[in-house]
Chain A
């Protein structure tokens, strides 16, 4: 570390120039000759049978292309893990806003009136709208028991710990749905001809996910379906699953009409109809010794998955594995379930189940500390995972981690100890502004869980262009997080050439190999590593051919060598396929083994003021200390952390989805509130760099980690400020008001 010229440096964002000049082309910026605009007719009820569909007066229906489920040439299914998510509801609807019928017309201004003129009659069926209602199976709305998936993860002898415990501490923690609120809504454009097949351009994260789904819906052979990602204006997981749906809808209209069709949602439709973060309810029961050593835990996780299973089983899996936090548990048992409800399906969102679990454990740790009259940081310090110990899945920590050092740094940077004491003294006074400081320690597994990366079997290529530039060919996509820049930095460093002499290939399934989906904090660590080895192979070819010296060459010499090679042999391309790092084994049945090849680790500290006159909460300062392996680009990495912290602050304090019978009521930016430039405290980011042996130049995952820590750190700070315990997010002023003024038994954890 240290001698690199490109890696670790603040190289400018590859597509940055196009973005700051307003030239970057997003899906709604594209148009094609003869293009139609598409729109979706959606269910107005939560659950029931479609009786009939009537096309009302006043609309020239013969000018419209109309698609129903009967027009689907292949399977009426958006391909995910299971087979239950219909592309268009045929006879039955299972959630409000479920797509039933599609319309297209050359004049987009005519579409809203036409959508409103389609009248659908239903036989309405009873439905369930919460985890509790789903649990009671009244009625059963999915499968035999409303359960999409359940897991049992067990280590040690949990049943034996309760009699040894000095204290047993219980708590229940809940989190709400969260809207991604990428600034660019979902959109797709489809073009079809029998000769050239189907092409979808879209705002999306995972081109090959959309490809798989479109092959299934259209019944076309794989080579007749091409997916192209265009510039994507934010995603956060929200463009992992849903683009398969909107892409399929655009495709069906294009195939029926023979004309290109674009569907771009407006904000209200995007918010009401597309996926959100899974709401959760997590119960903890913990046995501790008198001196604050964790003995064992029983944890019950329940997620609300919405009406179809989509990605719920994998979100639940990550929630399960992260449930114990960054602590050593001699014994632990986690039972988890994802339930069906009649809300639109909940889906992938930055963190993918881990934020829910880590909120629960990190609030719970503060409750345990209080029960033992220990300082929250001291309780954590006594239980932080050490090298050589095993995680909840029995994975031995082989990395030389030092979590206590992260905590020391975070406490130092935030002046935690002094403020903890000073605020407590000041809060005892008569002032109405109460201040608090709280912390959270956490971890986030990098890459797919367990054997996931082996199943993905990712393939990456690096080739050279006619001009002799190196080119990275991956299906990993850019949506703001920095994929283009990071992967080009890795290739440039490996090839020992200028960053400017490397470019990204087009994110087009017809042209790039499948390097897997752009999710799960896997791009830098897993795909980056493959780019590294593919670039090494490319260099080896040039050196072996006598065209390039082993080292000490210039970028110009590389370009000349590459062009000479192409002139002689036609093309120069090197590929690299994923191989699991040694010692990574996973037992999917029993949830034992190496859940992740590596973890990122962090300690965050939040400082808050609670105003007892307005009940408003401000976050005054935020310190984020993390160990993410090697930092490949300090500007981009810092931006990732700051953005994740801001999104975490939103989840903790502002972003409440108001549901009414499964429908989001506040599906507007006017009433779904995200943090503005005036709500965000200074976010002070610190990296502890410990290169990881099996990541590209030592990198581990980073993208999701910062979503995990803010909510528990903030709620711990609010407890410090107010002396009241709040165990749900989002925590709005009205809830603080209610709990602090309305007399009722405190919702504190029961300490036995």
Chain B
């Protein structure tokens, strides 16, 4: 057991855990942030996607020992019921979320994409989300959600 410091969604946490503990487990079990989901445990499905110092990663593949002092963003940090992130709002309106299990990772990947590219075309959206599997939607509603979020964000920020 070692002690690690993590800033998650702006809050500083100290975690005592094995260096090989998966970041996914630390978030879900130690910090009770269960919004981040496990779908496959081998980095294929993207349900566990989080931002690690701004980079999109599968938290099931990240050992805690590598992220001491890191800044983590999860779905819980994107917005609140009262102040939804534009991406959350668009997923709600466009039907981007069905069963909801891929949704947290899909939202995080969408936010990551829109930070890099304010006006992604369809090809860029497909590429930006190709590490996140969805079995319910056939992706069309998700693409539309990201397009709508992008245009809303550009309206607001000019």
Residues of A within 8 A of B (CB): 10, 12-13, 15-26, 28-29, 180-185, 231-236, 266-267, 479-482, 635-636, 638-639, 642-647, 668-670, 674-678, 680, 682-683
Contacts and interface: CB of A to CB of B under 8 A. Distances in A.
Interface residues of B, number: 55
Given A23-B35, A183-B101, A635-B94, A267 B135 contact: no
A183 B41 contact: no
21 contacts: A12-B92, A15-B100, A17-B92, A20-B89, A21-B75, A183-B102, A184-B99, A233-B100, A267-B41, A267-B42, A638-B140, A639-B136, A642-B137, A643-B136, A646-B137, A646-B139, A668-B42, A674-B133, A676-B133, A677-B126, A677-B142
A22 B95 contact: no
A425 to B, nearest CB: 29
Contacts of A644: 138
Given A639-B95, A668-B42, A181 B138 contact: no
B95 A638 contact: yes
A125 to B, nearest CB: 34
Contacts of B135: 180-183, 234, 236, 643, 647, 674
Contacts of A21: 35, 75-76, 78-81, 84, 88
B101 A234 contact: yes
Contacts of A643: 98, 135-138
A246 B11 CA distance: 38
B99 A680 contact: no
Contact of A677 (B44, B78, B129): B129
B36 A22 contact: yes
Contacts of A642: 137-141
Nearest 5 Cβ contacts at the A-B interface = A22-B35, A480-B99, A233-B101, A646-B138, A19-B100
A231 B37 CA distance: 13
B135 to A, nearest CB: 5
A183 B47 contact: yes
Contacts of B127: 677-678
Interface of B: 28, 33-42, 44-45, 47, 74-76, 78-81, 84, 88-89, 91-95, 97-104, 107, 125-127, 129-130, 132-143
Contacts of A676: 130, 133
B81 A17 contact: yes
Contacts of A17: 81, 92
A653 B135 CA distance: 15
B40 A233 contact: no
B95 A20 contact: no
A477 to B, nearest CB: 11
A182 B101 contact: yes
Contact of B104 (A22, A232, A683): A22
Contacts of B37: 26, 28, 183-184, 233
Contacts of A22: 33-36, 74-76, 103-104
Nearest to B85: A20
A115 B135 CA distance: 30
Nearest to B75: A22
B138 A680 contact: yes
Given A21-B88, A183-B135, A646-B139, A670 B35 contact: no
B44 A668 contact: yes
B34 A183 contact: no
Residue from B35, B47, B76, B95 with most neighbouring chain A CB atoms (10 Å): B95
Contacts of B33: 22
Among B33, B100, B103, chain A packs the most CB atoms within 10 A around the CB of B100
Contact of A183 (B36, B93, B95, B134): B134
A204 to B, nearest CB: 13
A20 B136 contact: no
Contact of B95 (A13, A647, A675): A13
A12 B141 contact: no
A28 B35 CA distance: 11
A235 B135 CA distance: 10
A746 to B, nearest CB: 34
Nearest to B79: A21
A20 B44 contact: no
B43 to A, nearest CB: 9
Given A635-B141, A636-B95, A678 B130 contact: yes
A233 B35 CA distance: 13
Nearest to A478: B99
B136 A480 contact: yes
Contacts of B42: 267, 668-670
B97 A266 contact: no
B107 to A, nearest CB: 7
B56 to A, nearest CB: 14
Given A21-B75, A21-B80, A233-B37, A635 B100 contact: no
B92 A20 contact: yes
A322 to B, nearest CB: 23
A16 B92 contact: yes
B139 A669 contact: no
A13 B36 CA distance: 20
A29 B28 CA distance: 8
Contacts of A645: 138
Nearest to B134: A183
Contacts of A670: 42, 44
Nearest to B76: A22
A677 B130 contact: yes
A58 B36 CA distance: 34
A678 B143 CA distance: 11
B57 to A, nearest CB: 17
Contacts of A26: 34, 37, 101
Nearest to A634: B95
B149 to A, nearest CB: 11
A645 B102 CA distance: 18
